[in-house]
Structure 1
Amino acid sequence: MTTEIYLDSNATSVVLPAAIAAATDAMGQRYGNPSSTHGTGLKAKAILDQARASAARLLGVGPGRLIFNSGATEGIQTAVLSALVALRERRDAGRAIGALLVYGATEHKAVPESLAHWNRLLGLNLTLHKLPVDGNGAHDLAALRAVADQAAMICTMAANNETGVISDLTAIEAVLNETNCNACWMVDCVQALGKLKLDLSSTRIDYAPFSGHKLHAPKGIGMLYVRAGTPFTPLIMGGGQESGQRSGTENMAGIAALGAVLAALERGDTFRTHAELCSFRARIADSLRAALPGVVFNNPFDKALPTTINFAVPGLSSRELMDVFDAAEVRVSAGSACSSSKAAPSYVLDAMGLPLWRSAGAIRLTFGPLADEATIAAACARIERCGAALRASCLIPSERTAVPHDGLLQLGVEGACSWMVLDAASRSCIVIDPLPEHTTRIEAYVRCQNYQVQAVVCTQPNAGRAQLIAALGRHYNRAADADEYGWPANAAVIAVASGAAASAITVGTQVLACVPGQAQRAYLLGVADGARLPAAAVRFAFSAQITQALRDVSTERTVLCPTRDDGNQLCSGTTSATQAITTADAQLDSAALASFLQAHPDARLIDVREPYEFAAAVAPAPAGRPALSVPLSRLAEYASTWLHEEPAPLVFYCRSGNRSMKAAQCLRRLGHPQAYSLHGGLALA
């Protein structure tokens, strides 16, 4: 039984059971070609005719055309091609055409890219003009009025896919009428189907694309409305299907499924009412406020679809929020699903003028009109679970002091690393090479766990210490003067393995020693033997590079913690150059995992997701075996321990297999031969 709660319906929706049954019937019983005139073909044609008639009634098509196609992208392409071909014909006939292809700044990327594509191929050389929106995502009507007489085509949307903001189509139409604008007008109605009342023939909308998979039909089926008398050029020519408007044998399974959804909309007995959907949104919003202090909603609820919530949380990236929600098996997205894999701010929220932290940290949570009470209640409980996990990891403010962590913590950004040496018993720590980007995170971590920072040291002189020290306030030990590297003037003296004297500072039971004889600063971390730090006792070295001086005071089991990690290797050894590791022999697929664990009862299963993901997780570990939480940020600490133990097989896993492969490769580079990654991660397990 699945524990997944799917809240990404603006990307795609679960398929209505009646739609699945209709598609199965079309494939299994009424499988004929609707262009055939025999009985089997006529049965298929009946499905097509019924679906078209239902859509025509729901959308108020009137005398306009309604063409079945593969979905919204094809519909947009067809509409743009049709309008631009008509423009070229008009221009070639010596008639005036506008100079601008106007589109809303928050349109789906398919719109401006289609405009640019056909504008170039048809040789029109018109100018693409982005129509601005206000802070609520509404089109700037004054800006539209200023360019309406120059517009050759205008593209807006009924409701935005990222924010759910509903466009004032009546006001836009009024502007077009007032300015005597004769440009073709396309309205993207993808998110409107089943959520907004549409009466297309009563408007001057020329083209309206729809996509079935946004409203509980399968992918690969959609519709395009074309107003009566509006120019039309087929995108696909061939067999003459759809009255010659869209050739290619019809996708009858998809049409049957979409027909079942449309029939359900007409009956009014399947989907939630607007009031019920608003109630669901209010409950989810309340849970977000309770779980995530400071949460800000990026869409105005009174001007948006009730099924869309777009939010951001101060101090948290969209990646962190995505990860913790996904661990709790609550499926949300960062902005548009078409671009959520790209680490970039939302262009929709940027166009609304929102600050960068909100557009870069945005999460889109969407449910469909098929949502039920049980799903919403479970979602609210999971959201609260995510909040608790983030509080325990010191990523959001907590009234309680978190359980202190022990050992070594790595923070990375764009190839550079910050390190924290933590001692839970004494509540003290040392920060090495703090990056400005990590100041807020380190300060929150120290404050949340009530640590006292003994020193902030760097491997380069004057390397950004001041910003962190100012942020730490009372949590920084200011008792001793420090040099330009942050090294305390009152540091003790200790002998290292080369016999040379080195200065050292203490954190808990360990010492951090400054390596003598180095042109650049390097540090050693280990447990001293009296006034000596033997090479075998050096667990970690912090340096920009491996030098002979470093090798003289460490062993092959010493882990190098780099100041830069451009290769995303996390850490390496101090005694040899890094070797490339092949991925094939380091991977286990889910089918092989159970037999591998049975053959290796001493194997350890290790979850490398971050602590907040581990805490929020609701699904059991793969193969039903308990797992150890070792996030990549703490891998160096655990790697050092494993290298000093009798080797046992290590099987790393994460959500997708990407992070676990990095962990397995890192351990193999360090000399641990039995490190593996679960291929495909939990997503495929």
Structure 2
Amino acid sequence: MSQRFFTQTSQDLVYLDANATTPVLPRIADVVSHTMRVCFGNPSSSHITGVQAKYLLEQTRAKARQVIGAKQGDILFTSGATEGIQTAVVSTLLAKRHLATSNSVLLYGATEHKAVPNTLKHWNDVLGLGAQVLAIPVDENGLLDEQFIAEHVGRALMICTMAVNNETGVYQNLQQLEQVIREHNKDVSWMVDCVQALGKQALALSDTTIDYAPFSGHKLYAPKGIGFLYIRENSPYTPFIAGGGQESGMRSGTENLPGIAGLYELFDLLLDKTSDVFKPVETLHGYRQQLITALENTFGDITFNAPLSGTVPTTLNFCVNSLTSKEVMDLFDAAGIRVSGGSACSSGASRSFVLDAMNASDWQSENAIRMSFGPAATEQDIALACERICALKPVLANNCLIVSDAAQPEHEVCALGLTQLRHQGSCCWLYVAPNNDAVIIDPVVELVPRLVRLVSQQQLHVKAVLETHKHQDKDSARALLSTRLSLADNGDELGWPGAPISLGAQTLARIATPGHSADSHSYVLRHGEHVTACFCGDLFIFSGLGSTQFEDADTVQMAESIRTLAATLSDDSVICPAHDYEQCFALTWSAQLQATPLVQQLLNEQVSDQEFVAQKAKMDEQLITDCGALCGFSLVAKQENAQQLTVEQVQQMLEDEQHPTMVLDVREPYEHGAKDIRSLFNVNDGQLLNVPLSRLANAFFSHQLSPQTRYVLICRTGNRSGQAINNLKSLGFDNVYNLQGGLALV
């Protein structure tokens, strides 16, 4: 029997990403299954089985009219909203191409789902219309600029807006928009994306002049692959899919009858006034308030990215003011809570174009979290979600991710040793001695709140806040952090107090290492005469060199600085640069040399200073054209993918007494704390180690890992563990393996 792809039961899951998709309701799933097995006829067949299928299809169409208030016009079954959008756009542009001039425009809302502008641009180009595709601006509340519409709609071939935004839940005043549109252009084709409105807002499309309205089943508890399109009477129409003439010649291809049957049951539930499956708006507002209370109690300082009064009650778009969206999502995922960062269709993007259009701050756009539930959510669903969210508060406090309200909080995670804190490639390093003496090097503005919490809650004694040089790509955060920590500023412009800093048994000294810039310095941490770590700024980038393209850079000085450090460092000295563009996380001096042949050649006197300068200039030119990183570049070759192991193979390794094996969890401690993975493997405490990527440097600094041990690395999806494996391989670890698909597929 083939293995079924089941990863987690619904009882283990708190699903709060309904705007991306919804589970199929059991009643709907039963109808779909019944149709597949019993009412499987082809609606185009003339025998009784086909006639029965045709009857089901037409009854569903009739119910769709009732649900969306469409007494007139056509209801066309589609594969989903994207096909409906394509059909509406193609129908309009083909019908109006003879009207297109160089002055014509195609209008769409700036916060519209990407399917809309991309479709407009595609068919505008394919049909050679030459129209200008214009985004209608929105205000800070996400509402369309009606003045802009009034100015441009007169020369528009088509205007596309949406009823409810999929990221923020903001709804538009369609009556008001209609008044503006028709006052200035009675004939323009108007499409309204109604995907997120179904089941959440009352619709009466026949009472409007909306020409097209696409809908999608999977956004409201029906299967994927089925949707429908409303087409107003006498609006332009051209079949997007031609062929056998199904759907009265409007859309060819055998109809998806099981999906249509699922819509029938969905419509039945929406129309049944006695059913309590779909909750009234007042109840949904109550649900949302419960979630807001849980979020505020757990995270504290939260910004909501859209006004609650102007959004549907099933959507919350927010950011935690001191945590990145990745941190929040990883934490939620570890706790079995599913949310998304902005739109599921744009999850690869680094920021939200919707929030950018609303003129939100960079922090909001880059760290937005969307939490959404469906109108069929139950009181028990929301109560469980709130319980899971509130249960995260001690995990956050123990990991210094929030300010603890406990009198004497006991932190499960301590910052002793080396910690790398990253923001968009920039690295800040925190070193804490066993006696809690600490130093912070190259702080980043965005990380200041995190650092302040760490210092306060772990009662660190910060001896200095230092910079390796005045960074060209970011504002200095040294003065801000020193002020927030109430530190006296007795140092020079880089924070150096003028004498070595005692940090427990180690001492931090400074060495002038100009080259990347005239003021560049490196800080070396010594235990006796042995250098345990070197904070080298941008003299080195992991597996590469810092840039010498700046006005005060000097490549000859860089060569001399490299020789100076080489005479100081040991093979196992941990290199701590100010940037980590390649997500290398940790390297020793010997691994750094192995990855940078030009440096080896310089130190072995195989190239002169002049030859070093010439080769470095070529590398800098390549940096400009290939990389885009401002301060340096990596020369490290891409590693081959690590061997992927199944859970069964991991278990076999753990039981092999002849070859010691460790499970190395590279998730952050707050994820590790939120989800105990020992239940997934028969593993004892001595075989489980949590070393997050931010602490990989410390693992080498403290000799926590051994190349002789086998390690199976795990994370949420296998991506971070894959990055860590590349790092470990560059440091001579050959027996490292990845859990296939990470915890997501266990």
Q: Which residue is equivalent to 1:512?
A: 508
Pick the aligned partner of 1:653 from 714, 725, 735: 714
- Contact 1:451–1:475 at 8 Å: present in 2 too? no
Alpha-carbon distance in 1 for matches of 2:668, 2:227? 40
What is the CA-CA distance between 1:20 and the residue it aligns to? 1.6
Is structure 2 residue 647 aligned with structure 1 residue 590?
Answer: yes
- Normalising by structure 2, we get a TM-score of 0.82
Equivalent in the alignment of 2:404: 398
Does the residue aligned with 2:263 lie in a helix, a strand or coil?
A: helix
1:456-495 alignment runs, 5 A limit: 456-460=465-469, 467-473=477-483, 475=485, 478=488, 482=491, 486-491=495-500
Q: Which letter maps to 1:38? A: H
Shift of 1:523: 4.0
Contact 1:72 1:209 in 2 (8 A): yes
**In the alignment, is residue 577 of structure 1 matched against residue 594 of structure 2?**
yes
Q: Identify the residue that residue 88 of structure 1 maps to in structure 2.
A: 97
Say yes or no: does 1:68 pair with 2:71.
Answer: no
How many residues are treated as equivalent by the alignment? Answer: 658
- Cross-structure match for 1:500: none
Percent identity of the aligned residues?
42
Match of 1:308 in 2: 315
Q: Which runs of 5+ in 2 are unaligned?
A: 1-8, 544-561, 596-635
The 8 Å contact of residues 443 and 472 in structure 1, kept in 2 or not, is answered as: no
Instruction: Determine the C-alpha separation between the residues in 1 that align with 2:93 and 2:484.
Output: 66
Q: Which residue of 2 aligns with 1:145?
A: 150
Could you tell me how far 1:174 is from its partner in structure 2?
2.2
Paired letter, 2:291 = I
Aligned to 2:428: 418
Aligned equivalent of 1:502: none
Partner of 2:454 in structure 1? 445
Please say which of residues 42-51 and 208-217 is displaced more in the overlay. 42-51
Matched, 1:616 2:622: no
C-alpha displacement of 1:399: 3.1
Q: 1:653 Cα shift? A: 1.0
How much has 1:642 moved relative to structure 2? Answer: 4.2
SS at match of 1:561: strand
User: How far apart are the structure 2 equivalents of 1:564 and 1:584?
Assistant: 24
Please report how far the alpha carbon of residue 664 of structure 1 lies from its aligned counterpart in structure 2 after TM superposition: 2.1
1:358 aligns with 2:372: no
User: Within the alignment, does 1:317 sit opposite 2:324 as a pair?
Assistant: yes
CA distance in 2 between partners of 1:521 and 1:262 (Å):
69
For 1:668, the equivalent position in structure 2 comes to 729
> Offset at 1:143?
3.1
- Report the CA distance between 1:286 and its aligned residue: 1.2
Counterpart-to-counterpart distance in 2, 1:421 and 1:39? 79
What code does the residue aligned with 2:15 have?
Y
Maintained 8 Å contact 2:642/2:736: no
Cα deviation for residue 191 of structure 1 reads 0.6
Shift of 1:652: 1.8
In structure 2, the CA distance between the partners of 1:477 and 1:195, relative to structure 1 (3 Å rule), is closer
Report the CA distance shift for 1:514/1:676 in structure 2 as closer, same or farther (over 3 A). Answer: farther
Residues 23 and 257, structure 1, Cα contact 8 Å, conserved in 2: yes
Within the alignment, does 1:407 sit opposite 2:399 as a pair? no
Give 1:54's aligned residue. 63
**Structure 1 residue 567 displacement after superposition:** 2.5
Q: Secondary structure at the match of 1:160?
A: coil
Q: CA deviation at 1:178?
A: 3.3
Kept after mapping to 2: 8 A contact 1:454/1:476: no
| Cα distance in 1, alignment partners of residues 415 and 176 from structure 2 | 58
Alignment-mate amino acid for residue 76 of structure 2: I
The match for 1:497 is none
Q: How has the CA–CA distance of structure 1 residues 57 and 478 changed in structure 2, closer, same or farther, with 3 Å as cutoff? A: closer
Instruction: Return the alpha-carbon distance in structure 2 between the equivalents of residues 595 and 231 of structure 1.
Output: 64
1:637 is aligned to: 698
- Corresponding residue for residue 495 of structure 1: none
Q: Distance in 2 between matches of 1:540 and 1:90?
A: 70
Aligned residue in 1 for 2:559? none
Q: Say yes or no: does 1:179 pair with 2:172.
A: no
Give distance in 2, aligned partners of 1:216 and 1:517.
62
Tell me if the contact between 2:651 and 2:682 (Cα under 8 Å) persists in the aligned partners.
Answer: no
- Check conservation: 1:462, 1:484, Cα contact below 8 A: no
Q: CA deviation at 1:241?
A: 0.9
Deviations 1:644-665 (CA, angstroms, capped at 9, x unpaired): 7583222221111111112222
| Partner Cα separation in structure 2 for residue 167 and residue 35 of structure 1 | 40
Shift of 1:171: 1.4
Is 1:540 aligned to residue 533 of structure 2? yes
Q: CA RMSD in A?
A: 2.8
CA distance in 2 between partners of 1:213 and 1:554 (Å): 59
Q: 1:484, 1:142 → 2: CA distance?
A: 51
CA distance in 1, matches of 2:366, 2:302: 14
**Separation in 2 of the partners of 1:448 and 1:670?**
34
Report the CA distance between 1:407 and its aligned residue. Answer: 1.1
Question: 304-313 vs 126-135, which deviates more?
Answer: 126-135
Please tell me the residue identity of whatever aligns with 2:215: F
- Pair 1:46–1:97, CA change in 2 (3 A): farther
CA shift for structure 1 position 666? 1.8
Aligned match of 2:577 in 545, 562, 567? 562
Q: TM-score, length-normalised on structure 1?
A: 0.89
Whether the aligned pair in 1 keeps the contact of 2:513 and 2:522 (CA below 8 Å) is: no
Are the equivalent residues in 1 in contact too, given 2:443–2:478 (CA < 8 A)? yes
2:294–2:390 Cα contact (<8 Å) kept: yes
> Cα 1:639–1:260, aligned 2, differ >3 Å: closer, same or farther?
farther
| Cα deviation 1:585-610 (Å, max 9, x = unaligned) | 44323342222222258422222112
What is the CA–CA distance in structure 1 between the aligned matches of 2:482 and 2:69, rounded to whole Å?
63
1:303/1:439 CA distance change after superposition, 3 Å: closer
Please say if residues 455 and 476 of structure 1, whose CA atoms lie closer than 8 Å, have aligned partners that are also in contact.
no
The CA distance in 1 between the partners of 2:192 and 2:575, in whole Å, is 58
Question: Does the C-alpha gap of structure 1 residues 413 and 283 become closer, same or farther in structure 2, counting only changes over 3 Å?
Answer: closer
Give unmatched runs, 5+ long, in structure 1. 492-504
Match of 1:599, SS? coil
Q: CA deviation at 1:521?
A: 4.2
Distance in 1 between the 2:423 and 2:654 partners? 35
Quick check: 2:452–2:484 contact (8 Å CA) kept in 1? no
Check if 1:255 corresponds to 2:313. no
Distance 1:97 1:582 in 2: 51
Contact 1:98–1:152 (CA under 8 A) maintained in structure 2 = no
User: How far 1:465 sits from its partner (Å)?
Assistant: 10
- Where does residue 340 of structure 2 map in the other structure? 333
Write the mapping of 1:27-42 to structure 2, written as runs, cut at 5 A: 27-42=36-51
Task: Find the aligned partners of 2:705 and 2:716 in 1 and give their Cα distance.
Answer: 29
In 2: Cα distance, 1:273 partner to 1:306 partner:
10
- 3-state DSSP of counterpart to 1:49: helix
**8 A Cα contact 1:213 1:219, kept in partner:** yes
CA distance in 2, matches of 1:208, 1:245: 16
For 1:53, give the aligned amino acid.
Answer: A
Q: Residue by residue, what CA displacement relative to the aligned partner does 1:385-433 show, whole Å, maximum 9, x if unpaired? A: 334333333333333465352111012234432211113x533201233
Q: Does 1:606 align with 2:672?
A: no
Letter in 1 for 2:354: V
Instruction: Specify whether residues 461 and 303 from structure 1 end up closer, same or farther in structure 2 by C-alpha distance, changes over 3 A only.
Output: closer
Structure 1 residue 580: Cα displacement: 4.8
- Number of the residue aligned with 2:739: 678
Letter in 2 for 1:527: H
Cα distance in 2 for residues equivalent to 1:216 and 1:228:
29
Number of the residue aligned with 1:299: 306
